[in-house]
Amino acid sequence: MKVTVVGAGHVGATCAQRLVEGDIADVYLVDIADGLAAGKALDLAQAAPLVGHSRRIEGGTTYEPAAGSDVVVITAGVPRKPGMSRDDLLATNGKIVTSIVEQIAEHAPDAIIIMVTNPLDVTTHIAMEVSGLARERVMGMAGALDTARFRCFIGFELGCAARDVQAMVLGGHGDSMVPLASSATVGGVPIAGLIAPERLEEIIQRTRDGGAEIVGLMKTASAFYAPSAGVVDMVASILRDEGRVLPASVLLRGEFGIDDTFVGVPVRLGAAGVEEIIECELSAEEMAALHASAAHVRETVAAWERLKNA
């Protein structure tokens, strides 16, 4: 199995590291900066005897070596800075993603694309539009990350292991995301009976602000450990045909009453990509929030169309 990771910054390089050291796939790391991807790939290759894996990793600036990739992960783009929203990145990252996907469509047309570049739901829309791939083969990594943050903060609050928290976050990757508090449990016990409503709302808001909180702390960088772990979860489920149910940004065509919009929902990931969109039961409030989130994504897509055609 082979994965091309586009972008050798913190997210891309850490994703490449997790893929080879987890014995999930060989990796080609590509970046526009001369020597960056090649240098990081060589460093990771030299760590192989110490870590104990036999996966191959190479790096470069061109896309020809991406040929034969089963999955392409796109992380390239300008990261957020303090005070900047994901939508502020639209003009710059929209053009970057367009150029990348054109190259991928030429050199790795059979690959499944996983988008990480923000604003996530819109760049995933761009990737599908440019590549012409079926909706099963283009998705965005956001729900896995947002869900991990939600589970982490619940674990903090209850003093328990985050892995024992079962929860899910749907909707767009941003301020309009929808953490499903009503169905969240820890060890099978609903958290609604363990956390006061006002405190739970604070946890939900911290989840929505999870990325901005890290940007505010680090000043010159954004999150990369958790985003790369979310990507690798998705890649592993696809390459190993595990059929795991994870939230991902996918094109809805009537599911949840939403049409022609990329939004985070539960999906089953296997060898074909998105093999099923799972319409879980939502409360009336959660459904309304999901529709509002989808409306925000459509507004941002419309903004991209205006920028693109200007």
User: Which residues are catalytic, by number?
Assistant: 173
CB 226 within 8 A of CB 200: no
Closest C-alpha among 104, 144, 138, 111 to residue 124: 138
277 forms beta bridges with 267
CB 148 within 8 A of CB 229: yes
CB 108 within 8 A of CB 67: yes
Distances (CA, A) of 194 to 4, 141, 169, 281: 43, 30, 19, 22
* CA–CA separation, 47 and 283 (whole Å): 49
67 DSSP assignment: T
Report the interhelical angle of 10-21 vs 36-51 (nearest 10°).
30
* CA–CA separation, 59 and 35 (whole Å): 8
Contacts of 232 (CB under 8 A, 6+ apart): 15, 18, 19, 22, 24
CB 186 within 8 A of CB 167: no
Type of residue at 23: D
Give the angle subtended at the CA of 213 by the CAs of 13 and 210, to the nearest 5°.
75
Pairing relation of β-strands 259-270 and 273-277? Answer: antiparallel
CB 167 within 8 A of CB 184: yes
Torsion of CA 223, 267, 182, 174, to 10 degrees: 30
